[in-house]
A and B are shown apart, each in its own frame.
Chain A
Amino acid sequence: MATTTMPRRGIDLSAFGRNRALLAGIVVLGLICLFALLAPLFVDPSQARVGVTVPRRPPSGSNWLGTDGQGRDMFTVMALALPQTLKIGLLAGLISLSVGVALGLVAGFVGGIIDTVIRTASDVMMTIPGIAILVLVAANVREMTVELMALIVAALSWMVATRTIRAQTLSLRERGYVQVARLNGTSGLKLIFIEVLPNLLPFIAASFVLTVSQAMLATVGLEALGLGPQNDLTLGMTIYWAQFYSAIIRGMWWWWGPPIFAIALIFIGLMLTSIGMDSFVNKRVGTQ
């Protein structure tokens, strides 16, 4: 590591102070999750059905966020849609993270032809524009559900984790303590789970945030195109219906405003967390 005074000053003075970013990101995401967990307990789900309330009402005392063009109470819609959106993102993130970590570990540890195959596959998948394939798959599926959505999105976002974990495994494999364990006759699987995997945890955490954020981006995009779960309430589908019924042109800001605000907040939270984690992870690399 080169140590000059200039870059240090550059980092410290920038508005993205290292750990402040992580803290801010976790606080933002925490508040969102808290709302997603608690809000559904306090709303009446029937208020989110079409035609229950008077449509096209601006926010008022009885409808905090107004009602949409089809007579749904927007606050109830938001309270029910947010957990669903988070569920897709987390589920897709978890699936692709597991796939990514498994492939990355194998590629980095086994090497040879298997490594070449996995590396080429992830290169190819990174080149294919995800949304294009997603559009094709989603257009062919009879009925989209939240779980299926997560699975489809996960199939196209495992590459980042694979690359990160592979690179780290390659460098960990050559470390002294791993070599010692290997010379002591530790078997392959034990080597991976006891010596390598624990040291990968910070990288796994960082990849998880990135993967979730990628999965959410794909999900919201697909839903806004009208390819999301038609019968479920999610933030992206709310935007789709608002767009479908020209809510913007009709001046109904309370219809498209809240989902946009929530989605923007989720992405900003994820980004801050990711920036914060990145510096944390890199610091760890520096000290070793």
Chain B
Amino acid sequence: MYLDYVIRRFGVMVLVIFLAVTINFALPRLMPGDPIEAQLNQLMASGGGQMGDVAAMVEAYRSRFGLDQPVWMQYVAYWQSILRFDFGFSLANYPERVSHAIAASLPWTLGLLGFCTIVSFVIGTWLGGAIAWPRTPRWLRTAGSSLLILSAVPYFLIGMILLYVFAILVRWFPAGGGMPFGLNVGWNFETLRGILWHATLPAISIIIAEIGAWAIGMRGMLVSVLGEDYITLAEAKGNKNRRIFLRYGMRNALLPQLTKLALTLGHIVSGAILVEVIFSYPGLGFRLYQAIQTKDYFVIQGIVLLLSVSIAVAMFILDLIYPLIDPRITARKS
């Protein structure tokens, strides 16, 4: 049964990747006119002084896509270049390679997102458990429940308010960027402090909004776990409240909470993109925003493809892990 399940999830992942690459390939070709000429002409018209050798670029793209060849051959060639992580050149910062641009901004996004997801998972899960637990002090439950409302507000709106209050009104934190200007980057305390200082506000805006989502899931889960017969048995046996809460309640409610991680992954990534824009944080989201501003089509394509593929792979890995840690999931699926 587990094998069937794995094959099915693997099929979904392959389909997603196939679809993402195909959409990437097809969209510009469905548009009327020559995409490369149009882009370059537009850039020239807007007076890009550092365009480099335009004719050479057009030539490079033509040979890269083989635009004179039949569509299916172009499609095969496209797959070949994708598999080599070759996404072409940036139009706005020629001759920078798209893969290079992505590699430069990826660590920022991974660091920020990874940190925020872990922190908000821990706080949110604990908070949701506390709200559902009947013996929690009333003030904590009221305060916690009102915090849940924040999960409805898009991340970047919270970011804008934080930016205004803590970087403009009181200047505790920097208004943007990933590290202090002119910082000598190295493995030292100065660098670490600069990076953390700049990451604080973006991180808080993601965490505040994300806590609520985790807490809501955990609350619902714990409420239904507390209705199970084994909780009544644990009470009857005279277990301490604390033990019932942690060992009988939280522990059983926690596993399905992990399932939610897969479903919210896409949501978290899209939310973080806009937070990066608000704080000019040098990650993938801000790079995407810049690429949209300058109509840097190949950078847009590269980032979008990377996001779709990595989310598909991450979800597949999570799907593989669940049944191993929570046998109930395999039972339900089969």
Contact = CB atoms under 8 A, between A and B. Distances in A.
A15 B133 contact: no
Contacts of B261: none
Interface residues of A, number: 51
B23 A133 contact: yes
Nearest to A217: B154
| Most B Cβ at <10 Å: residue of A129, A227, A256, A264 | A129
B146 interface: yes
Contacts, number: 159
Interface in B150-178: 151-154, 156-157, 160-161, 163-164, 168, 175
A41 to B, nearest CB: 28
Nearest to A214: B267
B98 interface: no
A131 B266 CA distance: 9
3 tightest A-B contacts by CB?
Answer: A15-B145, A271-B152, A131-B270
Interface stretch (B108-116, B180-188, B303-311): B303-311
Contacts of B334: none
Interface in B27-72: 27-28, 30-31
Interface of B: 11-13, 15-16, 19-20, 23-24, 27-28, 30-31, 131-134, 138, 141-142, 145-146, 148-149, 151-154, 156-157, 160-161, 163-164, 168, 175, 219, 223-224, 226-229, 231-232, 263, 266, 269-270, 273-274, 277-278, 288-289, 292-293, 295, 297, 300-301, 304, 307-308, 311-312, 315
Contact of B12 (A127, A253, A264): A127
Nearest to B27: A140
27 contacts: A4-B231, A4-B232, A6-B231, A7-B227, A10-B223, A10-B226, A13-B138, A15-B145, A120-B11, A126-B263, A127-B266, A129-B266, A129-B311, A133-B308, A136-B23, A137-B27, A140-B28, A220-B154, A221-B270, A225-B289, A243-B160, A248-B278, A253-B164, A260-B157, A263-B157, A264-B153, A267-B153
A285 to B, nearest CB: 14
Nearest to B305: A132
B304 A16 contact: no
A226 B294 CA distance: 11
A201 interface: no
A135 B315 CA distance: 21
B274 A133 contact: no
Contacts of A7: 223-224, 226-227
A132 B16 contact: no
Nearest to B222: A10
A2 B11 CA distance: 38
A38 interface: no
Contacts of A2: 227-229
B137 to A, nearest CB: 11
B289 to A, nearest CB: 6
A249 interface: yes
B273 A131 contact: yes
Given A14-B145, A127-B315, A135 B232 contact: no
A44 interface: no
B223 to A, nearest CB: 5
Nearest to B265: A129
A127 B229 CA distance: 36
B164 A248 contact: yes
A227 to B, nearest CB: 6
Interface string A133-146: 10111011010000
Given A2-B229, A14-B131, A253-B164, A267 B154 contact: yes
A117 to B, nearest CB: 11
| Most B Cβ at <10 Å: residue of A15, A264, A271, A272 | A15
A128 interface: yes
Nearest to B307: A132
Given A6-B134, A13-B134, A14-B131, A225 B274 contact: yes
A268 B212 CA distance: 12
B290 to A, nearest CB: 11
A183 interface: no
Given A10-B223, A129-B308, A135-B288, A124 B270 contact: no
A212 B19 CA distance: 25
A137 B24 CA distance: 9
B157 A251 contact: no
Contacts of B168: 248-249, 251
A120 B300 contact: no
B273 to A, nearest CB: 7
A181 interface: no
Interface in A1-34: 2-4, 6-7, 9-11, 13-16
A204 interface: no
A123 interface: yes
Contact of B301 (A136, A224, A226): A136
A130 interface: yes
A260 B307 contact: no
B311 A127 contact: yes
Given A133-B308, A225-B289, A4 B19 contact: no
A129 B181 CA distance: 33
A270 interface: yes
Nearest to A11: B223
